[in-house]
Structure 1
Amino acid sequence: MASRLLGRYARVLCRASSQAPAATAVTARLPPTVASHAEVNRPQGWPSVTQRLMSDGKTITKDDAFQTTPTFTKLDEVMDKAAVPEDILLAWVEHGGNSNQAAYALMKWTVLVLRTKGKIKDLTGDSRLMDMMDTMSQQVSATEVLWRVRRLTYKQLAYLADWGANKKGQQDVAVVNGALKQLELRWTEIADSKTVSGLISKGQRMSPALRDRLEDKALELSEGFSTEEIRKVCVSLAAQSRRSVPLLRALSYHLLQKPSSEFTTPLILNMAYAYGRLNFHHSQVFQRMASELLPRVPELNSIDVVRCSKSLGFLKWLHIPLFEAFAEHYIANSQTYNVPQLCNLLMTFARLGFQPSKGDEFFSKVHSELEESLSGLEPFLQTDVVWSLCVLQQAKPHYLLPLTKQQHRTKLSEGSESRVESYRLKLLHIAATLHLEHPDSSDSDSPAPPSAPSVLANISPMQSGLREALQRLVGERTEALRTGVDTVYGWTIDGELVVDCDNKPVDSPALPSGGGDQDLPLGVRRIAFMALEFPNFGSKSKDLLGRFVMMKRHLQLAGYITVEVPYYDWLELKTDWQKLAYLKDKLGKAVAEDMAKVNWEKSRS
């Protein structure tokens, strides 16, 4: 447009310079500044040179100088009168059009779909729409599109990235990558929470640098996030396994400020999933979610119950009233739970060591389902379920016997070294349950001998400190103590010690067995010291997880007196003297409790 106007202006000047009287008249009519420039600065021959430069390559006639808009066609007329989306599609089939008309038709069609409350995703497979898109894309230069991307606003760039998140075409990928590159350069321009949450949710194609910057921007804008945007960001972080602790803390804080009306059931379930997947703990948020969800548990379906309980199980967070509600939900709706859902519920209860208050009613329904389906489960899942029943003290002998056979052990020998080792230990725990808790069961195999300890196992600082303190406890009687004992039951004891009736360490030929199954002289007791570290307990709790409850029970049934050394006590002991005094006190109390228990059992008999 500017070149056309300058071309016309140059021709006017040319005509003016060739006619002197007319030139005087033109000068008189022009503003003073323009007239002076025309008279003083225009050298001889300038008008003709300018005329050639401005019109070089094209001659502009009077008719096309004012033709600045496309010709109005029949298609445009029909589209302007369209009242429903179908009118647009019919007009396109009947009249066709160029790329500009295809773009306009698509926009008009979208507006009409939204106005008539239709669903765009359900209609995009129409061949007429695909023809519009093909017409538009074929007549547009990819290079031009990439050049124009740089002129888009950050919101338009975000929409473009969202649009092309799942596109596989070469040109589409190039355009989306161009938009993402611009966002990486201009990320500081982003100023609204909706855009940043939308971009984080489409982070699969983004560079690590852009994702880091978007998370920084989300942290900056977190105060303005809605609950839906908080949910969207947290679920996206979980899906991408990006544990951004500062951002998660900020979003959790702002989530707590939201009213109860915004704590919808889908929000709670999704947030529980995100926290569980990222192993991010925030007790205040957990308490809030549990209190909001508890009254709604009867309205949940089996999928939601299992999903929520599993997420909280990963977090090792046991909210007793909520899990009681989960158990009652199963009792009332057991027919809606399929076998995999029941298996997941049992494994979660076992992980947390949760025993329902209505245990008899709950487990009667569980057993009635497992009697028919347990043997048909995949070997690894069958092992997990039976092991969980062992933790919950609900394993029946006929559940255990098939898993002690060599045929079943062979099925579990595939996979990574760590997985094979994990299931080897579970089979030892299952065999120990059969041997210790069901000694009268027929055809009970002896537990398999322990294999060499895994070379990957590392001794923690607490275990190392406890073992050093036990060496000082026995003094010169080093033969009375063994540390890091791998028992035949699949459990490792941090310290094994035999003491006399005065709690003095004594040498014993029974120690080398490592199994605690040999008779000891009268008045002599076998002691097992257990270092219980932070991961052995539930979140924000001093209650042991199910695995370690079973460990304690097995060792006691094997003849040990267990001495628990929890991390929250051990960390308070700063000197060697304090540690030694603590161990002596714990040993004396454990022996006294065992003597009281024995005397009580004798009195009852």
Structure 2
Amino acid sequence: MTARILGRWAHLLLRCPQASAASSRLQAATAQRAGTPWPLAWARPAAKPLCLGHGLPEEEQPSIKFKLSELDELVKKAGTPEAVLQLWAERGGSANQAGLCLIHISRLALKKDRAESANLLQDPRCVDMLETVNSQISVVWNGMLVSLLHSLSNLGLLPSTPVMQSLQTEALWRLRRLTYRQLAYLADWVSARHSQGQGNEMLSTTLLKQLELRWTELDNPRTLATLMARAGALSSSLMDRLEDKVLELAEKFSAEDIRKVALALSSQRRRSVPVLRALSYHLREKPSSELQAPLLLDMAFAYSKLNFHHTPMLERMSSELLPWLPELSPADVMRWSKALALLKWLHLPLFEGFAQHFMNGSESYSTLQLSNLILSFARLNFQPTNREKFYKKVHEALRGSWLGLEPFLLTDMVWSLCVLQQAVPDYIAAVTDTNFHTKLTEGAASHVVSYKLKLLQIAASRQLEPLGAPGECPPAGTPSAVPVKAGTHTALQRGLHAAVQTLAENRTSALRTNVSTVYGWVIDAELVLDAENKPVDLENLVAPHLPGGGGADLLPQGAHRMAFLAWEFSHFCCKSKDLLGRFAMQKRHLQLAGFLVVEVPYFDWLELKFDWQKVSYLKDKMGHAVAEEMAK
């Protein structure tokens, strides 16, 4: 290092007109020692990045080509762990050769069961290799050092053993000399140990610091994907930098790299929209040969977990999956339908294919898989073309097994069949039984309330639809009405309340807002209009939809009870004006309960800029609802 600095000073002195003879001699001496002409010396960088430590810069490092020894060649050709152990016993070798043998044994041991792998570590020949590595740890190559940590862990060697402790300590001292790819591979091992509660805190902290300091060196997409999946979970700041790198390198990503990055983001709940858009764009450009069914399934799962919608990519994924349908397992069909349902993406040919897949192999579907498939259909309000045959198969598959479902899943399954208007009285009777309600009291309070509301909606199906006896009251033990949270009104709801108040001539007694019903639904606004379309006071009118039943006066002759429902963007299927199953059932139940439903979708309401336009719009909708009722 001193010689290099003196050489550079000599070059500077040579260019100075006041250079002394001594400085000239110094330059000449250093030039002879270095053997490099001064123009080439000036072309060299004056300094190297601090992250490279005390070693030579990469361009100054001698290109050393290691020639494999005869033992190395034989080890690579060995087909069993016993053959490798025998070669070591016969020939012995250095620490690096011992490391090569251990790594190869680990790869071969993956084909064996866990017990056989544990026995390998007890073999005297394997013990000798471990002792050789431990005694000569300082001469083990960097790449070999990191690979040994992985391989020995795969063989079942605990991080607390002397050899593993030596390897970790040596890795800690060499961190600044490791390449970024080796750091990423080491981070993979460290994060796996952390997940098992066996992490080395000092190594982990120092490693993450190095990764954060040197993140600009990262230029390999596969290394980036691995690092995001492993080390990203340990450091939020590192993950921020890695996301920037994804945007830089996204064009070089293979389809498999895109899959890994998407799964890493979903596992850490990082909804980075620019990154997801970039990944979706480049994945969409890939040829069909790279878009295999497992990859598409993982991408759909990642999108659904992050609630990320990319319509062109969803279209491409759905069309690419259609040819694979006959080869999918029931578990794959369940996962696909569930992911698309969470994304509110209804691709009719694909869902028709899901229904046909079940009909072709209903005996291979478990009750859990079938229940999740039905739940997905209900969420999107999807009805198969051949619905009679489909639901016949569903009820046959559920016969004798549906009672064994976990209480919450059983409630979901019966609720879904109610949405699809295919519930069987036996299913409803099972979940509306008072003793069943006590099974739905575990978990978070919001979770319990949500399922109690589903029980109310199931009871409403039994009461209002042809399935059960008309006029039957909701079962005892369920909540009497939907709890409405204060201060949760959307802009659409606030605007609707103001417009309906104008229709009610600003009479508070003629208007109800946020009406909690015994059917498990909330009505945004309620009015009663007499035969002359004038609002009527509600206080004394009978109201069977309210928990208390309302007043004692019957509706006036020719009067109509109006229910206003505000349909938000989230109430519709993606890129569609079709209501999701939950809200389609709400509309159906309220109509069966005697309401004239006035629907106010967001896409119509946003076009109305003035209050008089909103009032006029509601009057038109109300007139249309009354005309339809009169036509019946």
Matches within 5 A, 1:2-17: none
Distance 1:80 1:262, change over 3 A: closer
Distance 1:506 1:414, change over 3 A: same
Cα distance, 1:456 vs. partner? 6.4
- Partner of residue 566, structure 2: 531
Check conservation: 2:300, 2:336, Cα contact below 8 A: yes
- Partner of residue 306, structure 2: 278
Find the aligned partners of 1:433 and 1:316 in 2 and give their Cα distance: 24
Cα distance, 1:519 vs. partner? 5.6
Matches within 5 A, 1:108-507: 110=103, 119=108, 121-122=110-111, 126-127=120-121, 128=123, 131=127, 132-133=129-130, 135-137=132-134, 140=137, 143-167=169-193, 174-203=202-231, 206-438=234-466, 441=469, 445-447=473-475, 450-451=480-481, 453-455=483-485, 458-507=488-537
Find the aligned partners of 1:171 and 1:340 in 2 and give their Cα distance: 37
- Partner of residue 71, structure 1: none
Check conservation: 2:191, 2:199, Cα contact below 8 A: no
Find the aligned partners of 1:445 and 1:138 in 2 and give their Cα distance: 81
Find the aligned partners of 2:281 and 2:71 in 1 and give their Cα distance: 54
Distance 1:408 1:445, change over 3 A: farther
Residues 123-172 of structure 1: CA deviation (Å, up to 9, x unaligned): 66532586334542465355543222211121221222234432369686
TM-score after normalising by structure 1: 0.80
Check conservation: 2:481, 2:518, Cα contact below 8 A: no
Query: Helix, strand or coil for the counterpart of 2:600?
Result: strand
Find the aligned partners of 2:309 and 2:562 in 1 and give their Cα distance: 36
Cα distance, 1:119 vs. partner? 4.7
- Partner of residue 595, structure 2: 560
Query: Helix, strand or coil for the counterpart of 1:383?
Result: helix
Find the aligned partners of 1:380 and 1:370 in 2 and give their Cα distance: 16
Find the aligned partners of 1:170 and 1:373 in 2 and give their Cα distance: 43
Residue identity over aligned pairs, in percent, reads: 52
Find the aligned partners of 2:417 and 2:73 in 1 and give their Cα distance: 70
Which of 582, 587, 593 aligns to 2:617? It is: 582
Distance 1:175 1:440, change over 3 A: closer
Find the aligned partners of 1:513 and 1:186 in 2 and give their Cα distance: 69
- Partner of residue 56, structure 1: none
Distance 1:531 1:87, change over 3 A: same
Query: Helix, strand or coil for the counterpart of 2:223?
Result: helix
Residues 65-115 of structure 1: CA deviation (Å, up to 9, x unaligned): xxxxxxxxxxx8756665526443113345666xxx23323325657x89x
Unaligned runs of 5+ in 1: 3-31, 38-75, 599-605
Check conservation: 1:529, 1:564, Cα contact below 8 A: yes
Residues 394-440 of structure 1: CA deviation (Å, up to 9, x unaligned): 11222112222221112212221101110111111111111111475
Find the aligned partners of 1:170 and 1:450 in 2 and give their Cα distance: 51
- Partner of residue 103, structure 1: 96
- Partner of residue 17, structure 2: none
Aligned-partner residue type, residue 498 of structure 2: E
Q: Does structure 1 residue 541 correspond to structure 2 residue 541?
A: no
Query: Helix, strand or coil for the counterpart of 2:400?
Result: helix
Check conservation: 1:379, 1:411, Cα contact below 8 A: yes
Check conservation: 2:431, 2:455, Cα contact below 8 A: yes
Check conservation: 1:309, 1:348, Cα contact below 8 A: yes
Find the aligned partners of 1:171 and 1:320 in 2 and give their Cα distance: 49
Check conservation: 1:110, 1:120, Cα contact below 8 A: no
- Partner of residue 69, structure 1: none
Cα distance, 1:379 vs. partner? 1.4
Check conservation: 2:464, 2:589, Cα contact below 8 A: yes
TM-score after normalising by structure 2: 0.77
Query: Helix, strand or coil for the counterpart of 2:177?
Result: coil
Check conservation: 2:98, 2:130, Cα contact below 8 A: no
Find the aligned partners of 1:81 and 1:507 in 2 and give their Cα distance: 95
Find the aligned partners of 1:453 and 1:122 in 2 and give their Cα distance: 57
Check conservation: 1:391, 1:547, Cα contact below 8 A: yes
Find the aligned partners of 1:507 and 1:393 in 2 and give their Cα distance: 35
**Bigger Cα Rg:** 1
Distance 1:451 1:441, change over 3 A: closer
Find the aligned partners of 1:471 and 1:535 in 2 and give their Cα distance: 25
After alignment, is 537-546 or 169-178 more displaced? 169-178
- Partner of residue 18, structure 1: none
Check conservation: 1:154, 1:189, Cα contact below 8 A: yes
Find the aligned partners of 1:78 and 1:197 in 2 and give their Cα distance: 35
Aligned length: 522
